[in-house]
Chains A and B, each alone.
Chain A
């Protein structure tokens, strides 16, 4: 595997279900990100982890719970979601440790989530 991988690629879940999204980066990067991409809205940053420590939490509802067990893996645990949470969830990684301006991000293919 190379780059950033995400599983599953597609997920349909009911509002009472609990599921998890998984992201893995094979680039040796230090920071990992979760983004939400809804139709007709700009990409929204949800969470950032740097060296397994959460450094950004962008006012995300508690029904989304991130977990970063090591610098290569990132999870997004989902429970009691709402239909408006249906979106493409993108994971990304970057090389920086301290939040510099010059570090590009490498993205996974995303998980298309549909909440019914």
Chain B
């Protein structure tokens, strides 16, 4: 069975510093996709970044980057130069091939301090 684990219920970071949010996963699929979403207090889930299981390079999107370690089954999100607007819930998610099911982790709440 597929599983996503986010072990940090809450994280604090000082504005302008970098922060790493952890995510580990478990799957028997050979091909899968890993996603990170941000959910502000308004409720809408916002897609941030994607990593394919066969991608050799770590994904980057602006201030977001992934530290993808396939052998350890982890895909940690790094946010550089944190901003106050980064305060939100962050969810790690995984999707296999051959279906539409995406499973989500429990999320990490990030607090950015001024």
Q: Which residues of A contact B (CB under 8 A)?
A: 31, 33, 41-43, 45, 48, 50, 55-56, 58, 88, 90, 92, 94, 96, 99-110, 112
**Minimal beta-carbon separation of B29 from chain A (angstroms):** 8
> Which residues, 18 to 42 on B, are CB-close (under 8 Å) to A?
29, 31-33, 35, 37, 42
Contact partner, A48, options B29, B97, B100, Cβ 8 Å: B100
Given A42-B106, A43-B91, A112-B43, decide whether A101 and B100 contact each other with a Cβ distance below 8 A.
no
Please give me the residue from chain B that is nearest to A50 by CB atom: B100
Which residues of the partner chain A approach B91 to less than 8 Å between Cβ atoms?
43
Q: Inside 8 A of A101's CB, which chain B residues have their CB?
A: 29, 31-33, 52-53, 95-97
Complex Cα–Cα for A88 and B45 (A) = 12
B binding-site residues for A, Cβ under 8 Å: 4, 29, 31-33, 35, 37, 42-47, 50, 52-53, 91, 95-107
Nearest B residue to A9, CB-CB: B43
CB atoms of B44 and A105 under 8 A apart: no
- Given that A42-B104, A42-B106, A43-B104 are contacting pairs, would A99 and B99 also be in contact in the complex, using a CB cutoff of 8 Å? yes
Residues of chain B within 8 A (CB-CB) of A41 are: 106
Given contacts A43-B91, A101-B32, contact A106 B47 (CB under 8 A): yes
A4 to B35, CA, bound (A): 19
Q: Is the CB of B50 within 8 A of A104?
A: yes
